[in-house]
Amino acid sequence: MVVWNKAKKNWYKKGYHEGISDERKEGYTVAKNVYKITYPCANCGGDLVLKRNGEDTKSTIEHLKSQ
């Protein structure tokens, strides 16, 4: 019985941590889709991601403010 309870506790912990991990991944994906800013590349038309404190972030902000 003691072995069974220990195994049950370990399964619970493993399932709990996997569930938390899955929820965090899902939450990150949702936040990324809501807050990620992309713009089209002038050359290929593909999506470029505007990254926080990225090289092109300041010039993009200045351009948007001037518009």
Sign of CA dihedral 53, 22, 38, 47: positive
| pLDDT tens digit sequence for 15-53 | 767 767 777 788 888 888 888 888 888 889 898 888 888
The pTM for the full model equals: 0.44
Contact 52, 59 (CB under 8 A): no
Structural domain boundaries of the chain?
11-66
The vertex-18 CA angle with 17 and 20, nearest 5°, equals 65
Query: Which region among 6-10, 44-48, 60-64 has the lowest average model confidence (pLDDT)?
Result: 6-10
> According to the model, what pLDDT value does residue 1 have?
60
Who has greater pLDDT, 60 or 66?
A: 66
